[in-house]
Amino acid sequence: MTEEHGGTSFEDRLRAARERRGLDPKPPPPGPSEESEPSLLGLGFRVAVELLSAMLVACAIGWGIDRLAGTRPLFLILFVPLGGAAGILNVWRVFAPRQEAGKERK
C-alpha cells in the first residue's frame, strides 16, 4: 500500500471515514454478547441449570434401573448423591481454570 496524503495510509483514512459515519461500532453484533455473558443473573441461572440437570439425569437413570430391575428405591437412593456430586462437578468445570491447553470453559 502506497503512503500518500500526508503519511496517512489507506487503512487509517478508511477507519477515520468509517468512524465519522458511525459504521465501526456496528460490525460485530454478536461480539458484545460474549462480554456481557457473565452477568450475575446469568451466572446464577447457569449454576442452577448445571446442578439441576445432573440431578435430573441421575434421578431418571436411578428410577429407570429400579423400574427394570424391580428394586424400587435402591438405585434411586444410590444415584441421588451421585447426581449431586456430578452437579458439583459441572459447576466446578464452569468455574475452574483449565490448566491444559489454556482453554477456558464457557
Partner 1 sequence: MASGNIDALSQFELHTALGEAGAAVHFSQSNLMMVVAAVLTLALLVIGMRPRAMVPGRLQAAAEMIYEFVYSMCVDTIGPEGRRFFPFIFTLFLFILLGNLIGVFPYFFTFTSHIAVTLALTIVVVLMVTLVGLAIHGLHWFSYFVPQGVPKALLPLLVPIEVLSYLSRLISLSVRLFANMMAGHVMLEVFGAFVVMLGAAGWYGWLPAIFAFGVNVILIGFEILVAVLQAYVFAILSCIYLHDAVHLH
Nearer to partner 1, 20 or 106 (CB): 106
Contacting residues toward partner 1, per CB under 8 A: 27, 29-30, 33-34, 36-37, 45-46, 49-50, 52-54, 56-58, 61, 79, 82-83, 85-87, 89-90, 93, 100-101, 103, 105-106
Q: Give yes or no for a contact between 83 and 57, defined as CB atoms under 8 angstroms apart.
A: yes
CA distances from 30 to 22, 37, 104 (A): 18, 11, 19
Query: CB of residue 7 vs partner 1: minimum separation in angstroms?
Result: 25
Query: CB of residue 19 vs partner 1: minimum separation in angstroms?
Result: 17
Nearer to partner 1, 76 or 86 (CB): 86
CA distances from 102 to 33, 43, 99 (A): 22, 22, 6
